[in-house]
């Protein structure tokens, strides 16, 4: 009857993290708390919790504390931890899962990186409507939303220089078959957002 | 040699120098690039943070279009010059093969747009990979008409071209050497750059500028400590961060770095004797001209390396003399 008990229990936070991380088994249960991940992380010093710490917290079911942490948002996707992890845990992919969960639960607002999801959302706004990213629009909207003074500084120095050197477009480019891409993305979202 | 080509959004504008120089060196190397028709953005590091399946489907559309187009006959190899695009394309193909549920879901989404993709049908490769492995160092050296003698170059790989290693990589994930060897075959003096595979900060400039500037500072300082005349890179994000943010780093830390950052394809073009105008030179924030002016027609015999300080100046403990 042990099997029935296992299958009928409510999924824990730990189960949810594994379920929502695509790409095969992320090996989260294999963590031996060695700390190689945090030691290898370029932005580890600015994180509320190192990946090792987060994994222990996930195991302990500390959902809110994990999703309030700035750590996933400070992950720069450099994959050093993943390369060095002796247990082959898909650390970077788990960080992406935690980002999505923090947005879903609204807990990112309480982290010190509360503006980070806004940047990603602005980025994908252009992708979902044009099929291409749009650097000028992205930088302008992101800064106007969160750092109006920075927006002026950016526009007056780096932005102008990028424009002058022909490294930035004034208008976004749209792919030809945008209706096809919209249908694909709409369907993907309908299937569940996560896999 | 014929390859499918996925330029990615950056190469259309911000990294236009990378695009121009890639096209310029393709001809002398006998490479023909066939662009994926109507490709879309790869989602960078942003879409995966918002919606995983939509992100994989977004990349999946590119793979489906590439496989449909039969870009280069049966070989169906797709080349991406941007490391982030390369990784997203490569990883999506790999994860779809590993994870049946992901494969089914991505294909269900693609079907809504009349597309289908079987993982493994397109082989995704980075531009550097095909240049060093398919063309080869010797063939490149043979094309060199203006060797880059006396130019000290720090080869910078960044992250996403060699990592994660769970996915098969064409070079070492921690200590890659392909760009070093390539730079050497152009006649340049290669700096053994310790931080060559460290992170440039990616999009952190927009999330936490202080964190990002520190990461950029480390790389610049390391290159400066090793007397590099310039940094050469293979990724638009790395180029933007090291080049366009260099002045911000100087302001923030009171430093005075002045290290130009070029794409490896630009250096190849110069060594092949191509005109600077066709290689996007001058698009960089930190002017590369003073560094390029150091190139001499003959290899210099004397190394310009810093001398080691004499032993006496080092704070070494001295043993008391025996009485």
Query: Are B57 and A184 in contact (CB < 8 Å)?
Result: yes
Query: Are B105 and A188 in contact (CB < 8 Å)?
Result: yes
Mind giving me the DSSP string for B254-268? T------EEEHHHHH
3-state secondary structure of A193: coil
Query: Are A127 and B43 in contact (CB < 8 Å)?
Result: yes
pLDDT by residue for chain B (323 residues), tens only, comes to 899 999 999 999 999 999 999 999 999 999 999 999 999 999 999 999 999 999 999 999 999 999 998 766 657 899 999 999 999 999 999 999 999 999 999 999 999 999 999 999 999 999 999 999 999 999 999 999 999 999 999 999 999 999 986 667 899 999 999 999 999 999 999 999 999 999 999 999 988 999 999 999 999 999 999 999 999 999 999 999 999 999 999 999 999 999 999 999 999 999 999 999 999 999 999 999 999 999 998 887 766 566 666 666 676 677 777 76
**B214-228: b (≥16 Cβ within 10 Å) or e:** bbbbbbbbbbbebeb
- Distance, CA of B185 to CA of B147 (rounded, Å): 9
Q: Indicate the angle between helix axes A178-191 and A116-130, nearest 10 degrees.
A: 130
A contacts of B110 (beta carbons < 8 Å): 184
Query: Are B13 and A169 in contact (CB < 8 Å)?
Result: yes
- What was the pLDDT predicted at B74? 57
Question: Chain A within 8 Å of B160 (Cβ-Cβ)?
Answer: yes
Q: Scanning every residue of chain B, which has its alpha carbon at the shortest distance from the alpha carbon of A159? A: B244
Query: Are A42 and B111 in contact (CB < 8 Å)?
Result: no
- Distance, CA of B267 to CA of B161 (rounded, Å): 19
- What was the pLDDT predicted at A192? 76
- What was the pLDDT predicted at B167? 67
The CA distance from A152 to the nearest CA of chain B, in Å, is 15
Report all structural domains of chain B as residue ranges with CATH numbers, in order of start: 2-127 (1.20.1050.140), 137-292 (3.40.50.11810)
Q: What is the 3-state secondary structure (H, E, C) of B114-149?
A: CCCCCCCCCEEEEHHHHHHHHHCHHHHHHHCCCCCC
Question: Chain A within 8 Å of B6 (Cβ-Cβ)?
Answer: no
Mutate which of A44, A48, A71, A77 to test chain B, going by most B C-beta atoms within 10 A? A77
- What was the pLDDT predicted at A147? 73
Strand partners, B153: B190, B230
- Distance, CA of A172 to CA of A3 (rounded, Å): 55
Q: Scanning every residue of chain A, which has its alpha carbon at the shortest distance from the alpha carbon of B157? A: A78
Question: Chain A within 8 Å of B172 (Cβ-Cβ)?
Answer: no
Question: Chain A within 8 Å of B292 (Cβ-Cβ)?
Answer: no
The CA distance from B108 to the nearest CA of chain A, in Å, is 8
Nearest by CB to residue B51, choosing from A78, A139, A193, is: A193
- What was the pLDDT predicted at A156? 63
Strand partners, B4: B34, B78
- What was the pLDDT predicted at B238? 97
- What was the pLDDT predicted at A2? 45
- Tokens 């793979």 belong to which residue? B63
Comparing CA positions, the residue from A65, A55, A47 lying closest to residue A18 is A55
- Residues within 8 A of A (CB atoms), B 220-249 only: 244
Task: Please list the alpha-helical segments (H only) found in B34-154.
Answer: 47-50, 52-69, 83-98, 100-111, 127-129, 137-143
- What was the pLDDT predicted at B12? 93
Nearest by CB to residue A42, choosing from B58, B160, B199, is: B199
Q: Scanning every residue of chain A, which has its alpha carbon at the shortest distance from the alpha carbon of B11? A: A167
Comparing CA positions, the residue from B145, B188, B147, B182 lying closest to residue B28 is B145
- Residues within 8 A of A (CB atoms), B 20-59 only: 38-41, 43-54, 56-58
Tokens of B85: 């695009």
Right CATH number for A12-110 from 1.20.950, 1.10.1060, 1.10.287, 3.30.450? 1.10.1060
Tokens of B111: 């079907």
- What was the pLDDT predicted at A139? 73
Nearest by CB to residue B61, choosing from A42, A117, A184, is: A184
Question: Chain A within 8 Å of B196 (Cβ-Cβ)?
Answer: no
Mutate which of A67, A70, A83, A93 to test chain B, going by most B C-beta atoms within 10 A? A83
Nearest by CB to residue B14, choosing from A123, A162, A184, is: A162
The CA distance from A108 to the nearest CA of chain B, in Å, is 12
Query: Are B160 and A77 in contact (CB < 8 Å)?
Result: yes
Query: Are A175 and B50 in contact (CB < 8 Å)?
Result: no
Query: Are A23 and B113 in contact (CB < 8 Å)?
Result: no
- What was the pLDDT predicted at A163? 87
- Report, as ranges of residue numbers, the positions in chain A whose pLDDT lies below 70: 1-8, 149-156, 193-195
Nearest by CB to residue A127, choosing from B47, B207, B210, is: B47
Mutate which of B52, B83, B103, B173 to test chain A, going by most A C-beta atoms within 10 A? B52
Query: Are A135 and B13 in contact (CB < 8 Å)?
Result: yes
Nearest by CB to residue B12, choosing from A124, A173, A192, is: A173
CB B105 within 8 A of CB A191: yes
CA torsion A149→A151→A156→A159, rounded to 10°? 160
What one-character DSSP code corresponds to residue A24? S
Sorted by where each begins, the domain ranges of chain A are 12-110, 116-191
The CA distance from B120 to the nearest CA of chain A, in Å, is 15
Mind giving me the DSSP string for B221-250? HHHHHTT-SEEEES-HHHHHHHHHTHHHHH
**For chain A, what is the radius of gyration of the CA atoms?**
20
């Amino acid at each position: 009857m042990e099997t029935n008990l296992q299958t009928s229990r409510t999924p824990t936070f730990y189960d949810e993290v594994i379920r929502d991380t695509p790409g095969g088994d992320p090996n989260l249960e294999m963590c031996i708390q060695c700390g190689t991940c945090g030691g290898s992380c370029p932005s580890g010093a600015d994180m509320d919790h190192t990946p090792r710490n987060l994994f222990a917290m996930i195991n302990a079911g500390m959902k809110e504390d994990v999703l309030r942490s700035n750590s996933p948002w400070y992950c720069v996707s450099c994959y050093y931890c993943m390369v060095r992890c002796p247990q082959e845990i898909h650390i970077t992919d788990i960080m992406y899962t935690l980002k999505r969960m923090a947005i879903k639960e609204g807990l990112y607002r309480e982290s010190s990186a509360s503006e980070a999801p806004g940047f990603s959302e602005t980025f994908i706004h252009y992708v979902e409507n044009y099929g291409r990213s749009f650097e000028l629009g992205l930088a302008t909207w992101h800064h106007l939303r969160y750092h109006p003074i920075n927006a002026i500084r950016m526009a007056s120095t780096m932005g102008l220089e990028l424009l002058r050197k022909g490294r930035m477009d004034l208008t976004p480019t749209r792919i030809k078959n945008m209706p096809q891409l919209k249908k694909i993305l709409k369907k993907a979202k309908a299937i569940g957002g996560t896999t | 040699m014929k390859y499918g080509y996925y330029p990615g959004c950056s190469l259309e504008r911000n990294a236009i120098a990378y695009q121009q120089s890639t096209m310029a060196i393709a001809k002398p190397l006998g490479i023909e690039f066939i662009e994926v028709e109507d490709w879309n953005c790869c989602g960078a590091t942003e879409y995966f943070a918002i919606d995983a399946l939509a992100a994989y489907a977004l990349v999946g559309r590119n793979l489906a279009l590439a496989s449909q187009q039969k870009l280069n006959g049966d070989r169906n190899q797709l080349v991406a010059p941007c490391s982030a695009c390369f990784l997203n394309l490569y990883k999506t193909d790999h994860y779809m093969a590993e994870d049946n549920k992901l494969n089914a879901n991505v294909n269900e989404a693609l079907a809504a747009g009349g597309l289908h993709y079987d993982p493994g049908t397109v082989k995704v490769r980075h531009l550097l990979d095909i240049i060093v492995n398919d063309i080869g160092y010797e063939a490149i050296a043979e094309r060199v008409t203006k060797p880059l003698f006396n130019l000290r170059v720090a080869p910078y790989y960044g992250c996403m071209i060699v990592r994660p290693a769970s996915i098969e990589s064409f070079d070492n994930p921690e200590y890659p050497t392909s760009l070093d060897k390539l730079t050497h075959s152009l006649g340049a003096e290669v700096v053994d750059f310790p931080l060559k595979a460290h992170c440039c900060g990616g999009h952190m400039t927009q999330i936490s500028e202080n964190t990002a500037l520190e990461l950029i500072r480390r790389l610049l300082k390391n290159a400066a400590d090793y007397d590099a005349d310039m940094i050469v890179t293979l990724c638009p994000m790395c180029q933007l961060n090291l080049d366009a943010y260099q002045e911000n780093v100087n302001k923030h830390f009171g430093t005075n770095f002045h290290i130009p950052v070029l794409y490896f394809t630009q250096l190849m073009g110069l060594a092949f004797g191509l005109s600077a105008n066709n290689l996007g030179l001058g698009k960089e924030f930190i002017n590369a001209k003073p560094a390029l002016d150091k190139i001499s027609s003959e290899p210099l015999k004397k190394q310009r390396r810093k001398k080691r300080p004499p032993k006496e100046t080092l704070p070494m403990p001295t043993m008391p003399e025996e009485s």
